[in-house]
A and B are shown apart, each in its own frame.
Chain A
Amino acid sequence: MDENIDSGFQVGRREVLTVGTAAAALCFTGLPAVAQDSGRPDAETAPGPVTVELQVNGQPYVLRLDPRTTLLDALREHLALTGSKKGCDHGQCGACTVLLDGRRINSCLTLAVMHDGQAITTIEGLADSGTLHPMQAAFIAHDGFQCGYCTSGQICSATGMLNESRAGMPSYVTENLAQARPELTDVEIRERMSGNICRCAAYPNIVSAIKQAAGLPT
Chain B
Amino acid sequence: MKSFTYERADTLARATTSLAKPGTKVIAGGTNLLDLMKLQVESPSQLVDINRLPLDKIEDTPDGGLRIGATVRNSDLAADPRVRQRYGVLSRALLAGASAQLRNKATTGGNLLQRTRCYYFYDVTKPCNKRNPGSGCAALGGFNRVHAILGASDQCIATNPSDMAVAMRALDASVETVNGKGESRVIPIADLHRLPGSTPQIETTLKADEIITAVTVPPPPPGVQIYRKVRDRSSYAFALVSVAAIVESSGGRIRSARVAFGGLAPKPWRVPQAEQKLAGASVSAETVNVVATAVLDGARGYGSNDFKIPLTRRTLRAVLVEATGT
CB contact under 8 A between A97 and B101, given known A40-B3, A66-B3, A177-B91 = yes
Q: Evaluate contact between B100 and A161: CB separation under 8 angstroms.
A: yes
CA distance A110 to B47 in the complex (A): 13
Q: CB distance B30 to A177 under 8 Å?
A: no
Tell me, in angstroms, the Cα distance from A201 to B177 when the chains sit together. 45
Q: Name B58-93 residues within 8 Å CB distance of A.
A: 75, 78-79, 84-85, 88, 91-92
Q: Which residues of chain A from 100 to 132 have any CB-CB distance to chain B below 8 Å in the complex?
A: 100, 103-106, 109-111, 113-114, 116
B-contact bits for A163-182, CB 8 A (1 contact / 0 none): 01001111110100110000
CB of A160 within 8 A of chain B?
Answer: yes
Q: In this assembly, does A46 line the interface, its C-beta being within 8 Å of a C-beta of chain B?
A: yes
Chain A minimum-CB-distance residue to B35: A90
Contact with A along B99-110 (1 / 0, CB 8 A): 111101100000
Known contacts A114-B30, A114-B49: A104-B100 contact under CB 8 Å: yes
Cβ-defined contact, A170 with B30, below 8 A? no
Contacts of B78 in A (CB 8 A): 169-170
Contacting residues, chain B, for A97 (C-beta < 8 A): 101
**Contact A106–B105 (Cβ < 8 Å):** yes
Q: Please name all residues of chain B whose beta carbon is closer than 8 Å to the beta carbon of A106 when the two chains form the complex.
A: 31, 101-102, 105
Q: A169-B79, A170-B84 are in contact. Are A105 and B38 (CB under 8 A)?
A: no
Q: A170 near B104 (CB under 8 angstroms)? A: no
Neighbouring A residues of B113 by C-beta, 8 Å: none
The secondary-structure label for the interface of chain A is loop
Interface residue stretch chosen among A74-82, A188-196, A207-215: A188-196
A17-71: which residues lie under 8 A (CB-CB) from chain B? 35, 38-40, 46-47, 50, 66-68, 70
Flag whether A89 is at the interface (Cβ < 8 A).
Answer: yes
User: Does A87 make an interface contact (CB < 8 A)?
Assistant: no
Q: Mark B101-128, 1 if CB is under 8 A from A, else 0.
A: 1101100000000000000000000000
Q: Which of A89, A91, A190, A193 contacts B102 (CB 8 A)?
A: A91
- Verify B27–A157 contact, CB threshold 8 A: no
**Interface: A144 (CB within 8 A):** no
B235 at the interface (CB under 8 A from A): yes
* A residues in contact with B150, CB < 8 Å: none
Interface string of B1-44 (1 = CB under 8 A from A): 11111101000000000000000000100110011001000000
Decide yes or no whether A83 CB sits under 8 A from chain B: no
Write out the residue numbers on chain B whose beta carbons fall within 8 Å of the beta carbon of A178: 84-85
Are A67 and B101 in contact, with the CB atoms below 8 A? no
Given A177-B88, A194-B236; A164-B6 close (CB under 8 Å): no
Complex Cα spacing A193 to B236, Å: 10
Of the candidates B88, B92, B95, B105, which one forms a contact with A109 in the assembled complex, judged by CB atoms under 8 Å apart? B105
Chain A interfacial residues counted at CB < 8 A: 47
- Within 8 Å of chain A (Cβ to Cβ): is B158? no
Contact B3 A177 (CB under 8 A): no
Q: Does B287 contact A (CB under 8 A)?
A: no
Contact A103 B2 (CB under 8 A): no
B218-250 interface with A by 8 A CB criterion: 235-236
A67 CA / B6 CA spacing, docked (Å): 6
Give A192 to B35 CA distance when docked, in angstroms.
22
Inter-subunit contact A104/B1 (CB<8 Å): no
CA gap between A97 and B5 in the complex, in Å: 26
Q: Is there contact, CB below 8 Å, between B6 and A111?
A: yes
CA distance A190 to B235 in the complex (A): 9
Cα distance A171–B84 in the bound complex, in angstroms: 11
B291: CB under 8 A from chain A?
no
Among residues of A, the one whose C-beta sits closest to the C-beta of B51 is A114
CA distance A113 to B46 in the complex (A): 13
Q: Which residues of A contact B96 (CB under 8 A)?
A: 172
Interface residues of B in 193-226 (CB under 8 A from A): none
In the complex the two chains form, is B92's CB within 8 Å of A177's CB?
yes
CA distance A90 to B36 in the complex (A): 9
Which A-B residue pairs are the 5 nearest by beta carbons? Answer: A195-B99, A194-B235, A67-B6, A172-B95, A46-B3
| Chain B residues engaging chain A, CB cutoff 8 angstroms | 1-6, 8, 27, 30-31, 34-35, 38, 47, 49, 51, 75, 78-79, 84-85, 88, 91-92, 95-96, 98-102, 104-105, 235-236
Besides the contacts A47-B5, A47-B6, A167-B79, what 8 more A-B pairs have beta carbons closer than 8 Å? A47-B4, A66-B3, A105-B104, A111-B6, A172-B92, A172-B235, A174-B95, A177-B84
